[in-house]
Amino acid sequence: MSEISKLTHPRVIDGWFREISDEYFPGQAMMLRVEEILLAEKSEFQDILVFKSTDYGNVLVLDGIIQVTERDEFAYQEMITHLPMFSHPNPKRVLVIGGGDGGVLREVVKHPSVESATLVEIDSTIIDLSRKYLPGMSSALDHPKVKICIQDGFKFLEEASEKFDVIITDSSDPEGPAEAFFQENYFHLLKSALSPNGIVISQASENIWLKIANLKKLKNICEKVFSQVKYSYCTIPTYTSGQLGLMVCTDSPEIELITPSRRVSRKEESALFRYYNSEIHTQSFVLPTWADKVING
């Protein structure tokens, strides 16, 4: 038995990781079968677990919640990136807050219009472990257009003088280091860091099948700050209930959030993206009747 295979984590029992959280999803839990625990430690900010799963590739877990698996991460990374990027007519300067794994950056730099992509991640451990265990995501961390700041996103925005065309908040959930990213102050800071046609998008932590009231609450907060706020989602099997909500906002009347302002050919789409396409861009804003009533009613 090698040294590494002796690692343990309280959430891994009998060879299965259990994502149990009374706070986020009482009474339901996802299990993934573990082949080997690769990393189990506490950083300055959070509890970190990386394991090799039998069927989902390597998996990153922060404070007990699955953040990415190699098998399905593209769904989330592509949608949180390309919804604002394709709604914007010419995104040159992009800011990513959180997302130290590099997956969102990988998608951002697919747009030739991008001149700079700035990553602000509070926890350098995430970047280091991604380079080691998530090569399909971390490769973009070394892209020549990418700048990395190890800093709290909130503080970065308070001090920033630069303006951005697209800002993507790729955070963990509200309990823990990402708490501030779900409050009104944060959206005011985002707004002040946007160029005139700028767009922001945030992972909404919830989805329509969980605490839908929290989505409505987040949308109300965003609507205090931005004139256009739309709820979208992507399907992704390893997030609770199989989907993750996304909140897209802009203050520009010239931006159409639901319809892409630019399109690439079907062939190019198929070469560049595994999840995103121009139909699914628009489709992702259509909700089941009850959810539409709560969120958009």
Site for a copy of itself in 199-228 (CB under 8 A): 209
Evaluate whether 277 touches 269 at the Cβ level (below 8 Å). Answer: yes
The yes or no reply on residue 77 touching a copy of itself (CB under 8 A) is no
Confirm or reject binding of residue 53 to a copy of itself (CB under 8 A). yes
Rounded to a whole number of angstroms, the minimum distance from the CB of residue 107 to a copy of itself is 13
Taking the least distance from each CB to a copy of itself, the nearer of 35 and 115 is 35
Per-residue string for binding with a copy of itself, 2-21, x by CB under 8 A?
Answer: --------------x-x-x-
Q: How far is CA 7 from CA 12, 37, 55, 64, 137, in A?
A: 10, 6, 20, 16, 24
Among 36, 143, 176, 242, binds a copy of itself (CB under 8 A): 242
**Residue 76 binds to a copy of itself (criterion: CB under 8 A):** no
Residue 170 annotated in active site? yes
Nearest-angstrom CA–CA distance, 6 and 263 = 50
**Of positions 125, 172, 205, 240, contacts a copy of itself by CB under 8 A:** 240
Q: Is 265 in the site for a copy of itself (CB under 8 A)?
A: no
Find all residues with CB under 8 Å of 247, minimum gap 6, and list them: 201, 202, 204, 218, 219, 222, 229, 230, 231, 232
Question: Does residue 292 bind a copy of itself (CB under 8 A)?
Answer: yes
Residue 112, Cβ neighbours under 10 Å: how many? Answer: 6
Question: 81-95: string of b/e by CB count within 10 Å (b at 16+)?
Answer: bbbbbbbbeebebbb
Q: Is 29 in the site for a copy of itself (CB under 8 A)?
A: yes
Catalytic positions are: 170
